């Protein structure tokens, strides 16, 4: 078997209302799909993270460059392909090029699963057939008050989850602490509540709000500061009883090595769609396991349910529903369902993603 072609499809759609986290406004959402075709008629589907709109043309150009390292290769040689694509002197060290590498690598692993006729999580280790899940949301929106926020969190729990996440960092500290109080009172003491600042604070501000949040039993405090401020993460971690989590903006095993060696955080959040794909994710998971650290990936549930279920140190899967993505339940022919606080990877070969082309067609931009 050899790879015969590599293609990209970029989709984008408007949200009914723009949503905002601590620093950024998101009026649109989308899907970035990389397809790898083979001479045996098997096509791998990969997803590329965090690249939409105007960046689509850049991604397409990067993919054209990467094709030379993929076409003609045996997809079972994923380590060789990854190593040839990732040339940090030229491309790949961080940013959009590594995100494209991620999508290619995920598609390659999808092919491997389809050839083996096994779901990806089985191919990678098959530690469990279900993993804990939390529902992400709690964004800032125009006109959204405290009652609306509380109702959203309650509705997230009605999916079958028993853990939720909300945004902070986009309002004054006292206001955000009040938002947290309202949510905690609305969901009760038995629900795990995470908060996510999306790098909104300076380290001393993060320490301040962490101490003010402690009475509300916060399960983790995510991305309090800029990802490269390793010393700041360590200062925050040593100043609060709340576990600090980060990693969605970290790249490759080298970035996570530095987080781990400096004991910056308690929970690592690699995103396979961003940091290097399945190949690199599994190396980070092993490195974390050697340091008794857990993995709670950021982002797409359809890919990460396999990765968390494959490893012994998988903590939880992030899950997005219709409140954050208007195409939830429409993009793919199968929608991952929450059951009693857990999600299970599909038994379909590979990742198990089947695009709903009929629903997506109107939103394709590349």
Which residues belong to the active site?
A: 167, 196, 222, 248, 271, 298
> For residue 252, what are its two tokens?
């490759």
> For residue 148, what are its two tokens?
């609306």
| CB neighbours of residue 40 within 10 Å | 12
Contact 164, 194 (CB under 8 A): yes
Contact 329, 335 (CB under 8 A): yes
Report the C-alpha gap between 129 and 150 in whole angstroms: 32
Task: Please provide residue 330's backbone torsions phi and psi, each rounded to the nearest 5 degrees.
Answer: -120, -25
Report the C-alpha gap between 194 and 185 in whole angstroms: 14
Q: How many CA within 13 A on the CB side of residue 263?
A: 5
**From residue 22, how far is each of 25, 119, 224, 277 by CA, in Å?**
9, 36, 10, 27
Cα radius of gyration (the chain): 20
Look at the block and give the residue holding tokens 């989709």. Answer: 11
Which residues contact residue 95 at a Cβ distance below 8 angstroms, ignoring those fewer than 6 apart?
251
């Amino acid at each position: 078997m050899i790879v015969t072609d590599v293609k990209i499809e970029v989709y984008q759609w408007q949200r009914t209302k723009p949503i905002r986290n601590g620093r950024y406004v998101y009026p649109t959402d989308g899907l970035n799909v990389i397809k790898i075709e083979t001479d045996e008629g098997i096509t791998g589907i990969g997803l590329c993270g965090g690249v939409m709109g105007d960046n689509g043309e850049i991604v397409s150009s990067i993919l054209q460059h990467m094709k030379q390292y993929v076409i003609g290769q045996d997809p079972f040689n994923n380590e060789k392909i990854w190593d040839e694509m990732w040339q940090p002197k030229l491309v790949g060290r961080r940013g959009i090029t590594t995100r494209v590498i991620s999508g290619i690598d995920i598609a390659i692993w999808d092919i491997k699963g389809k050839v083996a006729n096994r779901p990806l999580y089985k191919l990678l280790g098959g530690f469990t057939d279900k993993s804990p899940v939390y529902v992400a949301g709690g964004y800032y929106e125009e006109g959204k008050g405290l009652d609306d926020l509380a109702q959203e969190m309650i509705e997230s729990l009605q999916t079958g989850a028993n853990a939720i996440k909300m945004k902070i960092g986009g309002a004054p500290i006292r206001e955000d602490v009040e938002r947290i109080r309202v949510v905690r009172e609305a969901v009760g003491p038995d629900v795990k509540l995470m908060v996510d600042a999306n790098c909104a604070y300076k380290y001393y501000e993060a320490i301040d709000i962490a101490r003010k949040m402690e009475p509300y039993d916060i399960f983790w405090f995510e991305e309090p500061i800029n990802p490269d401020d390793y010393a700041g993460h360590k200062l925050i971690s040593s100043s609060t009883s709340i576990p600090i989590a980060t990693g969605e903006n970290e790249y490759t095993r080298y970035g996570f090595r530095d987080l781990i060696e400096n004991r910056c955080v308690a929970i690592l959040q690699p995103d396979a769609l961003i940091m290097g794909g399945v190949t690199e994710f599994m190396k980070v998971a092993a490195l974390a396991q050697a340091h008794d650290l857990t993995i709670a990936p950021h982002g797409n549930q359809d890919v990460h349910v396999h990765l968390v279920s494959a490893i012994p140190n998988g903590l939880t899967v992030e899950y997005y529903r219709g409140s954050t993505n208007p195409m939830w339940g429409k993009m793919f022919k199968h929608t991952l369902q929450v059951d009693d606080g857990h999600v299970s990877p599909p038994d379909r070969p590979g990742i198990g993603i089947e695009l709903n082309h009929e629903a997506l067609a109107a939103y394709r931009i590349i």
